[in-house]
Structure 1
């Protein structure tokens, strides 16, 4: 009888381990709306900065707009260092997520209400602060739902990544439609875009996510994320002890991999600046007589993410269960870098047709060049970004969990500032030279990361 009960308990435990905890659904939904807000606003930002004032924009040059865009998106990812540090010591993850969400909603509302330079800087500042509290904590909160060696972790973070990209897919389409179609008017023969209504839509999306998160948090998450990590270390003396040699090695492994990731995002984030400008000036966007809005191209990457993330999740799960075992994290990330570089090789072929001077275009490039570039970049992203989130949440010491997640996200901060600087150079150096350099560096860095795989695996244990 006891053996039968024990067998039933083992079967129930095995079955529960195959299923993901219900909190994954809530965090998926919350992150989806936060990304809707972020990418909805981001998809319009470069256009808003460069369109003339009489047409509803602020009238900056492409180079200046690239710099502003780069510094904003960079600061968005630096802020989690501060937000992660404060959360580790004083604030529960769930409270931090709520604080961040409300602040970001306010930032987009300021952009809606005030179409001035000071309104731009105030709105962007609020968005940066809000991201600092939201971004590092929702990822580490997801990690809290799984054990350190739970084989479902990489699969869970890949599913979570789909939530990011569901929001990112619809954001530029919906917000772009509001700005470039629904609220687009003609005043005295001059087109006037409704960018402010796109920002308002982004704000509403953020509010929807926060309402769901706070109403359903206790039901789906239980007590996870309610206490600061500092309180956890008081309850767990082992977690409050000085870092062990192995924990220090793991911390250094995270930092080393983070340095490599900077190069990936510096190339990937050209999507919002140089790729947007190239698409605007050199790509034939006409489809059977209909001209595709520029902002809609920002939806291509998340569309591919949604299509390919389940396949990637299945791949990691099958490899983990196979005799050979899963690919090491550095190899996955190295392959992601190589795929990114390959995407820029495709872009070089397009630039060879069109040239880099918008006033002397011989022929416009087929939009399939851009689509195929985004496809390669997307596969590279799936090999790198969700895997990195999973890695940090798994091997980071408990008392540094949110801070190290902030360090991981800060790599995107450095990368976005670097990306803005690189994009600004296209005006003087040309697209061919810039795209060739990014592609070559990405492939080289990817091969280097693969070559030191064994060293990093030993450090990560």
Structure 2
């Protein structure tokens, strides 16, 4: 995008009107708020819907398989962002891509809002995976289009936008979770569809007035010849996948377990190929190659962290449902409510951490050391879950306070690692691959959940101490190794702190 194009976009956006920020931030804040409301609300009850018996309104899927499906689902959501970025860059621009993504997400929730089979579940997941891939990365990109590169409000704008994400994630389990568990799962999924519909309405009604030209630019459009060739390849590839899938499923070769295993393998292979491609590219300089080497241990650390953090909606959700005393302080708690703890703690603690890093200035820990702190807190969040099982065994229900402590600790780790990881990615990325390196960062979460799909099968109440203990200890050990290696990693970062 030329400076002239960027200047035209900035001039087309009303620059005040939402807490001193461009009016377009209102549109994007509430679009993302409702999208996250729908996604996290659905996710708060999805695991229970899968493994609850038919008599309780569920699908009766084996609990271990349901846990693996949840992990693969999360992995595919993050992988699909690569497709969404390409479609926005080469075909539609970010605004149209966001709209199409919202439509697919809403359709996915609508499919789940009606009683159906496992087939309907997978159709719904497919629609939401593709829709989220189209919407999630691109709505964030439009936020950047609202500000000039010199605008000092940019970081504050992203902070406000991030707050919208967490507010949606905070309220969704309390509302959709309650409706889904108290009344009917399908009614809960229907509320998620309504949430996405509200987001689309906000987006379409306010887009023209508030966003101006933001998101309308196609950075690297396909030529007519490229479109013809690309669509032909995509069509042939899609047809081949459909035919092979139909044959494999009908013959019994492609089972749920084999599909999960395939995605688990891809979760390792795809980022590995990314690293190799960027490192060997002639567009990557020697300094950038050194920084890519420094990025590898950070990527591995991020995978370990997300492998624990993302189990909050799988293993800890199961723990809340089956191992926790849901009567506390004279009230009955819904197991889905615990999914609100992560965004709740982030809303309160994110400003504290932002202030802390500014206050410490040059005395703050280096990026690798912050990552090691993230791993330490993540590991500790699992280690603490050993205590109730060690004290009282696994046959009795435990206080919900243990889950609160676990979620609190992992959020401390998240605030040490996640925003720092985003910042480090922008600094360490080769200039020719800045956008793709950001995609690589999000793949750390996809890879973690792909690996989780195999790990979560091992959890049972009788293996609880070993499960939490081993995973927690590995995270703390990796954190210690990373801390020890941090001076060496810092030298490979070539001046980036």
Shorter chain as denominator, the TM-score bin is: 0.7 to 0.9
**Residues in 2 aligned to 1:291 and 1:164: alpha-carbon distance in whole angstroms:** 27
Write the mapping of 1:367-446 to structure 2, written as runs, cut at 5 A: 367-392=400-425, 396=429, 400-427=433-460, 430-446=463-479
**Alignment-derived partner of residue 211 in structure 1:** 201
Query: Residues 253 and 459 of structure 1 are in contact (CA less than 8 Å); yes or no, is this contact kept in structure 2?
Result: no
**Residues in 1 aligned to 2:218 and 2:297: alpha-carbon distance in whole angstroms:** 27
Bigger relative contact order, structure 1 or 2 (CA pairs below 8 A, ≥6 apart): 1
Equivalent position to 2:383, from 345, 349, 354: 345
**Alignment-derived partner of residue 277 in structure 1:** 318
Q: 2:213 is paired with a residue of what secondary structure?
A: coil
**Alignment-derived partner of residue 290 in structure 1:** 331
Q: 1:284 is paired with a residue of what secondary structure?
A: coil
**Residues in 2 aligned to 1:253 and 1:150: alpha-carbon distance in whole angstroms:** 31
Q: TM-score, normalised by structure 2?
A: 0.76
Q: 1:430 is paired with a residue of what secondary structure?
A: helix
Query: Residues 37 and 203 of structure 1 are in contact (CA less than 8 Å); yes or no, is this contact kept in structure 2?
Result: yes
How far the C-alpha of 1:344 sits from its partner, in A, is 1.2
Q: 1:43 to 1:424 in 2, by over 3 A?
A: same
Write the mapping of 1:211-290 to structure 2, written as runs, cut at 5 A: 211-230=201-220, 242-246=283-287, 257-290=298-331
How far the C-alpha of 1:172 sits from its partner, in A, is 0.7
**Residues in 1 aligned to 2:205 and 2:426: alpha-carbon distance in whole angstroms:** 25
**Residues in 1 aligned to 2:194 and 2:359: alpha-carbon distance in whole angstroms:** 39
**Residues in 2 aligned to 1:214 and 1:160: alpha-carbon distance in whole angstroms:** 18
How far the C-alpha of 1:90 sits from its partner, in A, is 2.8
**Structure 2: gaps spanning 5 or more residues:** 1-18, 223-281
Q: 1:89 to 1:243 in 2, by over 3 A?
A: farther
Query: Residues 71 and 449 of structure 2 are in contact (CA less than 8 Å); yes or no, is this contact kept in structure 1?
Result: yes
**Residues in 2 aligned to 1:302 and 1:245: alpha-carbon distance in whole angstroms:** 40
**Number of residue-to-residue matches in the alignment:** 418
Q: Which moved more, 1:251-260 or 1:156-165?
A: 251-260
Deviations 1:166-212 (A, max 9, x none): 1111111110121122x2xxxxxxxxxx1011111111111222222
Equivalent position to 2:399, from 366, 369, 377: 366
**Residues in 2 aligned to 1:447 and 1:140: alpha-carbon distance in whole angstroms:** 35
Q: 1:179 is paired with a residue of what secondary structure?
A: helix
Deviations 1:254-308 (A, max 9, x none): 5653332111111111112211222222222212343211111111111111111
How far the C-alpha of 1:446 sits from its partner, in A, is 2.3
How far the C-alpha of 1:388 sits from its partner, in A, is 2.7
How far the C-alpha of 1:221 sits from its partner, in A, is 4.2
Q: TM-score, normalised by structure 1?
A: 0.81
Q: 1:102 to 1:326 in 2, by over 3 A?
A: farther
How far the C-alpha of 1:390 sits from its partner, in A, is 4.0
Deviations 1:78-121 (A, max 9, x none): 11122223333333122222221111111111111242111101
Q: 1:229 is paired with a residue of what secondary structure?
A: coil
Q: 1:29 to 1:325 in 2, by over 3 A?
A: farther
